[in-house]
Amino acid sequence: MTAGPRMNGAEALVNTLADQGVEVCFANPGTSEMHFLAALENPRMKSVLCLFEGVCTGAADGWYRMKDKPASTLLHLGPGLANGLANIHNAKRASIGMVNIVGEHSASHLKYDPPLTSDIEGLARPLSHWVRRAESARSIAWDTATAVAKASEHPGQIATLILPGDTAWQDAGERVLPVAPVPVRRAPDQARIDEVAKVLRSGEPALLILANKATRGRALELAGRIAAGTGCRLGSQFFTARIERGAGRVPIERIPYAVAPGSAFLKDFKHLITAETREPVAFFAYPDKPSLLKAPGTLVHGLVDADEDSELAFEMLIDALGLRDTAPLIQQRIETPVPQGALNPISIAHAIAAAIPENCIVVDESLTTGRESMGLTMGALPHDLINNMGGSIGYGTPVATGASMACPDRRTFCMVGDGSAMYTIQSLWTQAREQLPVTTIIYANHQYAILKAEYANMGAGTEIGPQAMAMIDIDNPRIDWVAMGTSMGVPSKRVTTAEDFHKALTDSVRADGPVLIEVLLK
Amino acid sequence: MTAGPRMNGAEALVNTLADQGVEVCFANPGTSEMHFLAALENPRMKSVLCLFEGVCTGAADGWYRMKDKPASTLLHLGPGLANGLANIHNAKRASIGMVNIVGEHSASHLKYDPPLTSDIEGLARPLSHWVRRAESARSIAWDTATAVAKASEHPGQIATLILPGDTAWQDAGERVLPVAPVPVRRAPDQARIDEVAKVLRSGEPALLILANKATRGRALELAGRIAAGTGCRLGSQFFTARIERGAGRVPIERIPYAVAPGSAFLKDFKHLITAETREPVAFFAYPDKPSLLKAPGTLVHGLVDADEDSELAFEMLIDALGLRDTAPLIQQRIETPVPQGALNPISIAHAIAAAIPENCIVVDESLTTGRESMGLTMGALPHDLINNMGGSIGYGTPVATGASMACPDRRTFCMVGDGSAMYTIQSLWTQAREQLPVTTIIYANHQYAILKAEYANMGAGTEIGPQAMAMIDIDNPRIDWVAMGTSMGVPSKRVTTAEDFHKALTDSVRADGPVLIEVLLK
Tell me: the pLDDT tens digits for B154-212?
999 999 999 999 999 999 998 888 877 777 889 999 999 999 999 999 999 999 999 99
| Tens-place pLDDT, residues A230-278 | 999 999 999 999 999 999 999 999 999 999 999 999 999 999 999 999 9
Q: How would you label B470-482 residue by residue, b for 16+ Cβ within 10 Å and e otherwise?
A: bbbbbeebebbbb
Cβ of B284 within 8 Å of Cβ of A112? The answer is: no
pLDDT at B369: 67
CB atoms within 10 A of CB A300: 14
For B172, phi and psi rounded to 5 degrees? -95, 0
Nearest of A477, A478, A475, A372 to residue A415 by alpha carbon: A372
Same domain, A449 and A510: yes
Compute the average pLDDT of residues A117-138: 97
Task: Tell which B residues from 455 to 474 touch A, by Cβ distance under 8 Å.
Answer: 455, 457-461, 464-468, 470-472, 474
Q: What pLDDT, on the 0 to 100 scale, is given for residue A282?
A: 95
Picking from A180, A275, A265, A186, the residue whose alpha carbon sits closest to that of residue A223 is A275
Is B300 an interface residue toward A (CB < 8 Å)? no
Residue B67 shares a structural domain with residue B203: no
Decide: B26 and B76 in contact? Cβ < 8 Å: no
Given its phi and psi angles, is residue B40 left (phi above 0), alpha (psi -120 to 50 degrees) or beta?
Answer: alpha
**Which residue among B169, B204, B234 closes a domain?**
B169
B144 plus B273 within the same structural domain: no
Tell the burial category of B63 from Cβ atoms under 10 Å away from its Cβ (0-12, 13-18, 19+).
buried
Query: Is B2 within the bounds of a domain?
Result: no
**pLDDT band for position A430 (cuts 50, 70, 90):** very high
Mutate to test the interface with A, among B14, B32, B34, B365 (most CBs of A within 10 A): B34
Looking at the fold, whether A135 and A77 belong to one and the same domain comes out as yes
Q: Above 60 in pLDDT, residue B2?
A: no
Instruction: Please determine, for residue A490, whether its predicted confidence score (pLDDT) is greater than 60.
Output: yes
The alpha-carbon gap from A175 to the nearest alpha carbon of chain B, in Å, equals 19
Domain end (from A321, A337, A360): A321
Q: Strand A243-245 and strand A383-387: pairing?
A: antiparallel
The pLDDT value recorded for residue B447 is: 85
Is residue A1 scored above 50 in pLDDT?
Answer: no
Peptide bond into A339 cis (omega under 30): no
pLDDT at position B370 is: 67
Report percent pLDDT > 70 for chain B: 98
pLDDT of residue B77: 97
Identify from B32, B61, B284, B434 which residue to disrupt to test chain A contact, counting A C-beta atoms within 10 A and taking the largest count: B284
- Alpha helices (H) in A322-366, listed in sequence order: 345-355
Which run of H or of E encompasses B152? Answer: none
Rounded distance, CA B421 to CA B61, Å? 17
Are the beta carbons of A281 and B113 separated by less than 8 Å? yes
Which residues touch B189 (CB under 8 Å, ≥6 apart)? Answer: none
Q: What is the CATH number of the domain that holds B155?
A: 3.40.50.970
- Residue A302's contacts (CB-CB under 8 Å, 6 or more residues apart) are A192, A274, A278
CB-closest option in B35, B83, B474 to A458: B35
Indicate whether A478 pLDDT > 70: yes
Closest CB to B474 among A40, A51, A123: A51
- Residue B4: which pLDDT band, with cuts at 50, 70 and 90? low
Q: Is the pLDDT of residue A421 over 70?
A: yes
The shortest C-alpha distance from A344 to chain B (Å) reads: 24
pLDDT single digits (tens) B249-265: 999 999 999 999 999 99
Does residue B178 belong to any structural domain of this protein? no
**A21 to A18, A44, A405, A415: CA distances (angstroms):** 5, 9, 16, 31
pLDDT at A460: 84
Q: Do B313 and B382 fall into the same domain?
A: no
The chain B residue lying nearest A77, using CA atoms, is: B392
- Smallest CA–CA distance, residue B120 to chain A, in Å, is 8
* A391·B116 Cβ contact <8 A: yes
State the residue range of the domain holding A313.
190-321
Confidence grade of residue A2 (pLDDT, cut at 50, 70, 90): very low
Which chain B residue has the Cα nearest residue A421? Answer: B51
Same domain, yes or no, for A434 and A503?
yes
B contacts of A477 (beta carbons < 8 Å): 429, 432-433, 488-489
pLDDT beyond 60 at A118: yes
Task: Name the residue of chain A whose CA is nearest to B88's CA.
Answer: A79
Residues 409-438, chain B, touching A (beta carbon < 8 A): 419, 422-423, 425-426, 429, 432-433
Q: Between the CA of residue A444 and those of A103, A162, A307, B189, what are the distances in Å?
A: 38, 40, 39, 62
Q: What angle do CA A467, A471, A472 make, to 5 degrees?
A: 120
Residues in B closer than 8 angstroms to A512, CB to CB, are none
Question: Which 8-state DSSP code applies to residue A483?
Answer: H
The dihedral over CA atoms of B389, B395, B398, B399, expressed in degrees to the nearest 10, equals: 20
In a shared domain, residues B96 and B59:
yes
Clarify whether residues B398 and B490 are in a common domain.
yes
Q: What is the pLDDT of residue B509?
A: 98
Pair (B164, B18) in one structural domain = yes
User: How many whole angstroms from its chain centre is CA B253?
Assistant: 19
Q: Are strands A130-133 and A438-444 parallel, antiparallel or unpaired?
A: unpaired
pLDDT class of B522 with cuts at 50, 70, 90: confident
Distance CA B323, CA B222 (A): 10
SS3 per-residue string spanning B259-304: HHHHHHHHCCCCEEEEECCCCCECCCCCCCCCCECCCCCCEEEEEE
Contacts of B436 (CB under 8 A, 6+ apart): B401, B404, B405, B408, B412, B430, B513, B514
Q: Which of A41, A106, A451 is the closest to B285 by Cβ? A: A106
Look at residues B275, B306, B321 and tell me which one is the last residue of a structural domain. Answer: B321
Distance of alpha carbon B60 from alpha carbon B25, whole angstroms? 8
CA separation, residue A13 to residues A3, A72, A74, A162, A439 (Å): 16, 11, 12, 11, 35
Flag whether residue A483 sits within 8 Å of chain B, measured between CB atoms.
Answer: yes
Q: How many domains does chain B have?
A: 3
A362 CA: distance to closest CA in chain B (Å): 21
For residue B336, the distance in angstroms to the closest alpha carbon of chain A comes to 34
**A362 close to A227: Cβ distance less than 8 angstroms:** no
Is B228 part of a structural domain of the chain? Answer: yes
- Closest listed residue to residue B176, CA positions, set B10, B9, B12, B8: B12
**Within-domain flag for B4:** no
Interchain pair A285, B38: CB under 8 A: no
Q: Do the Cβ atoms of B40 and A467 come within 8 Å?
A: yes
Which of B126, B458, B478 is facing A31, going by the closest CB pair? B458
Return the residue of B nearest to A467 by Cα.
B41
Say whether both B485 and B363 belong to one domain.
yes
Give the Å distances, CA to CA, from B82 to A88, A101, A228, A369, B390. 10, 18, 45, 27, 16
Residue B205, domain member (yes or no): yes
The per-residue pLDDT for range B423-463, each reduced to its tens digit, is: 999 999 999 999 999 999 999 989 888 888 888 888 888 78
Residues B462 and B408 in one domain: yes
CA-based nearest residue to B365, from B429, B410, B420: B420
Question: CB contact, 8 Å: B119 with chain A?
Answer: yes
Domain-embedded: residue B162: yes
Residue B375 has pLDDT above 90, yes or no: no
Whole-number Å distance between alpha carbons of B398 and B392: 13
Q: Does residue B328 lie within any of the structural domains?
A: no
* Residue contact B283–A429, C-beta within 8 A: no
Distances (CA, A) of A517 to A352, A470, A495, A496, B88: 12, 26, 7, 10, 35
| Residue B298 φ/ψ, nearest 5 degrees | -70, 140
With an 8 Å Cβ cutoff, is A394 touching chain B?
yes
> Residue A384's pLDDT band (boundaries 50, 70, 90)?
very high
Chain B contact for A103 (CB, 8 A cutoff): no
Contact A284 B481 (CB under 8 A): no
pLDDT of residue B448: 81
d(CA B278, CA B288): 23
Q: At what angle do helices A396-406 and A53-67 cross, to 10 degrees?
A: 50
- ipTM confidence score: 0.97
Cα dihedral sign, B370-B376-B381-B387: positive
Cβ contact B477–A432 (<8 Å): yes
The reply to whether A342 touches chain B by the CB within 8 Å rule is no
Give domain status of residue B179, yes or no. Answer: no
Identify the CATH number of the domain in which residue A235 sits: 3.40.50.1220
CA distance B400 to B438: 7
**Which residues, including other chains, have CB under 8 Å from residue A178's CB and lie 6 or more apart?**
A1, A16, A19, A20, A141, A142, A144, A145, A146
- CB-nearest to B82 from A32, A86, A474 is A86
Does position A4 have pLDDT exceeding 90, yes or no?
Answer: no
Residues of B within 8 A of A80 (CB-CB) are 86, 392
Tell whether B79 is within 8 A of chain A (Cβ).
yes
Task: Yes or no: say if B69 and B21 are a contact pair by the CB < 8 Å rule.
Answer: yes
- Distances, alpha carbon A359 to alpha carbons A124, A356, A472, in Å: 36, 9, 37
Query: How far is residue B245's CA from residue B253's CA, in Å, rounded to a whole number?
Result: 11
Give the separation between CA B312 and CA B276, rounded to whole angstroms: 12
Which residues, including other chains, have CB under 8 Å from residue A516's CB and lie 6 or more apart?
A428, A439, A440, A442, A481, A482, A484, A485, A490, A491, A492, A493
Alpha-carbon span A28 to B471, nearest angstrom:
8
Min mean pLDDT across A2-6, B61-65, B396-400, B401-405 is at A2-6
Each residue's pLDDT tens digit, A28-86: 999 888 999 999 999 999 999 999 999 999 999 999 999 999 999 999 999 999 999 99
What predicted TM-score, i.e. pTM, was given to this entire model? Answer: 0.97
Residue B320: pLDDT band with limits 50, 70, 90: very high
Q: How far apart are CA A118 and CA A189, in angstroms?
A: 46
Tell me which residue in A106, A118, A474 faces B126 most closely, judged by beta carbons.
Answer: A118
pLDDT tens, position by position, A319-374? 999 999 999 999 999 999 999 999 998 999 999 999 999 999 999 998 666 667 77
pLDDT for position B373: 74
A114 at B interface, C-beta within 8 A: yes
For residue A383, give the H/E element and its range.
strand A383-387
Cβ separation of A38 and B460 shorter than 8 Å?
yes
* Contact by Cβ (8 Å): A513, A405: no
> DSSP string covering B358-372, please?
TTEEEEEE-HHHHHH
Together in a domain, A115 and A84: yes
